[in-house]
Amino acid sequence: MALLGKLGEMLSSVFGKGGEGSVLGIDIGASSAKIVQLRASRGSAILETYGEIALGPYGGQPVGKAVKLTPEKTAEALADLMKEANITARSGSMSIPFSSSLISVLEFPKVDKDALKRMVPIEARKYIPMPISEVTLDWFVIPEEEGEKSAFDRVQPAPARPKGQEVLLVAIHNETLNAYKTITESSGIRAEFYEIEIFSVIRSSLSHGIAPVLVVDLGAATTKMYVVERGIVRLTHLVTAGGQQMTETLARSLNWEFEKAERVKRERGLNDSSAYSTDENDRIKTAMLSTLSRLFSEVNRVLLSYGQRYNKNVSHVVLAGGGAELPGLASYAKEALSAEIAIADPFARTEAPAFLGDVLREIGPGFSVSVGLVLRELRAQ
Ligand SMILES: Nc1ncnc2c1ncn2[C@@H]1O[C@H](COP(=O)(O)OP(=O)(O)OP(=O)(O)O)[C@@H](O)[C@H]1O
Ligand SMILES: [Mg+2]
């Protein structure tokens, strides 16, 4: 089974042939499930419908909380979401959390394809802390860089080392895959493929380019960071903090229920509001920044360490995930991060009625994974 998005192709046109039929992209996150339905028409991806449902209430928790549901409960939530969003398609794809996968870049000597095919599973054992029979593996060779053309090489020659080849290896526990299969099957969805969310978010939120870019997916319980260069994932990093912690800190410091803190966070974000006194405004902002500033110093650390390790400057950061919808985030990020900032706008790659433009831009970051899944499907048609 192909777990990887064909990242090489990401640099080519998103919509190759067009085709018939509507397809679904389903992203079951820790705190909410997102779905989009699109159809290809004359080289465009037409947005037919979309929706999101909070998963907290299906596990007895408030909206915005990360929950671990059984496949059956998740299927129940998905059925409700499909009904609410007027979903008509029955074929689609689903994302697999980065946290349930193992991704590594492996180095091999320069051998031919057949030899590599034999070597990868053997080498993979060193990286995968469980029997190989319990995981599904996928991998591909990272295309070689044209060394001579790199500006850095001219300034500072790369250290001499035997020229080998690099392989991007991905492993997913079979049990995880089976849980996702149960969810799609009991929801009456024919799954065309399952894809680790990294590859989906990259497809929908990065434009063509070869320079290294850092994608930051601000989720509920976790924040995911991926450095992508020439369309290929070079580094991944998971931080176990996200939007939920921001809400919890806010609730604690203002003595509010989680529900209220979640609502206030989404409505006013980092911007002052006339509904609160100066003192309250300050406390709200300080509470939210306590989580955010820690996350952002981690982002800066990744920028710095990638830059030092590969002698390259990661000049752009794309913020995705529901957390990137925080009002006022872009201007704070511009101050706090040592790179150019963009907020993910996955719906920009789809066609939708003009009156939806503002809404889709606002909620877009949270749909980065689901839109990315569909873009791969439409391209394959
Ligand atoms: N308008 C908003 N402003 C601020 N935060 C928001 C907004 N909308 C959603 N969030 C926050 O985004 C987080 C959820 O983001 P997202 O839906 O991307 O996470 P998830 O996919 O459920 O989780 P994960 O990626 O960790 O599995 C929550 O913490 C939620 O409070
Ligand atoms: Mg997510």
- Measured at the alpha carbon of residue 78, what is the angle toward residues 77 and 83, in degrees to the nearest 5? 100
Q: Is the CB of 346 under 6 A from ligand 1?
A: no
Dist. CA 243–CA 240, nearest whole Å: 10
Of all protein residues, the one whose alpha carbon is nearest to atom 19 of ligand 1 is 219
Q: What is the pLDDT of residues 182-237, one digit of tens each?
A: 999 999 999 999 999 999 999 999 876 778 999 999 999 999 999 999 888 889 99
How many CB atoms neighbour CB 221 within 10 A? 18
Q: Is the CB of 366 under 6 A from ligand 1?
A: yes
Q: Is the CB of 321 under 6 A from ligand 1?
A: yes
Q: Give bridge partners of residue 54 from the DSSP assignment.
A: 32
- DSSP letters of 131-199? -GGGEEEEEEEEPPP-GGG-HHHHHSPPPP----EEEEEEEEEHHHHHHHHHHHHHTT-EEEEEEEHHH
Dist. CA 189–CA 87, nearest whole Å: 11
Q: What is the mean pLDDT of the chain?
A: 88
Q: For the chain, give me the number of helices (H) and strands (E)?
A: 12, 13
Cα-to-chain-centroid distance, residue 237:
12
CA of 321 to the centre of ligand 1 (A): 6
What is the three-class DSSP state of 337? coil
Dist. CA 184–CA 25, nearest whole Å: 12
Lowest mean pLDDT among 47-61, 158-172, 244-258: 158-172
Q: Is the CB of 371 under 6 A from ligand 1?
A: no
- Measured at the alpha carbon of residue 122, what is the angle toward residues 119 and 128, in degrees to the nearest 5? 130
Please determine, for residue 311, whether its predicted confidence score (pLDDT) is greater than 60: yes
CA of 182 to the centre of ligand 2 (A): 20
Q: Check residue 344 and report its DSSP letter.
A: -
Dist. CA 183–CA 104, nearest whole Å: 28
CA of 61 to the centre of ligand 1 (A): 15
* Pair of tokens at residue 26: 């389903």
Dist. CA 287–CA 201, nearest whole Å: 28
Atom of ligand 1 nearest to the CA of 321: 18
Domains annotated on the chain, with CATH: 7-245+287-380 (3.30.420.380)
Dist. CA 370–CA 347, nearest whole Å: 10
* Confidence band, pLDDT 50/70/90 cuts, at residue 46: very high
Q: State which amino acid sits at residue 201.
A: V
Dist. CA 193–CA 3, nearest whole Å: 8
CB hemisphere CA count around 296 (13 angstroms): 23
* Pair of tokens at residue 153: 């090489």
CA of 218 to the centre of ligand 1 (A): 7
Dist. CA 108–CA 164, nearest whole Å: 6
Please determine, for residue 157, whether its predicted confidence score (pLDDT) is greater than 60: no
Residue 140 phi, psi dihedral angles, 5° rounding = -150, 155
Task: Name which of 216, 210, 258, 262 is nearest 237 in CA terms.
Answer: 216
With the most atoms of ligand 1 within 8 angstroms of its CB, the residue from 26, 27, 28, 31 to mutate is: 31
Dist. CA 118–CA 124, nearest whole Å: 11
Q: What is the pLDDT of residues 314-349, one digit of tens each?
A: 989 999 999 999 999 999 999 999 899 999 999 999
CA of 130 to the centre of ligand 1 (A): 31
Cα radius of gyration (the chain): 21
Contact yes or no for 33/24 (Cβ under 8 A):
no
Q: Is the CB of 364 under 6 A from ligand 1?
A: no
Ligand nearest to the CA of 224: 1
Contact yes or no for 100/176 (Cβ under 8 A):
yes
Dist. CA 327–CA 290, nearest whole Å: 16
Q: State which amino acid sits at residue 257.
A: E
Residue 3 vs residue 19, higher pLDDT: 3
Instruction: Give percent above pLDDT 90 in the chain.
Output: 75
Atom of ligand 1 nearest to the CA of 28: 21
Ligand nearest to the CA of 239: 1
* Confidence band, pLDDT 50/70/90 cuts, at residue 145: low
Q: Check residue 34 and report its DSSP letter.
A: E
Q: What is the pLDDT of residues 47-69, one digit of tens each?
A: 999 999 999 999 999 999 999 99
* Pair of tokens at residue 283: 């406390």
Handedness of CA 330, 332, 337, 338 (dihedral sign): positive
Dist. CA 99–CA 311, nearest whole Å: 28
Q: State which amino acid sits at residue 13.
A: S
Please determine, for residue 151, whether its predicted confidence score (pLDDT) is greater than 70: no
Please determine, for residue 143, whether its predicted confidence score (pLDDT) is greater than 90: no
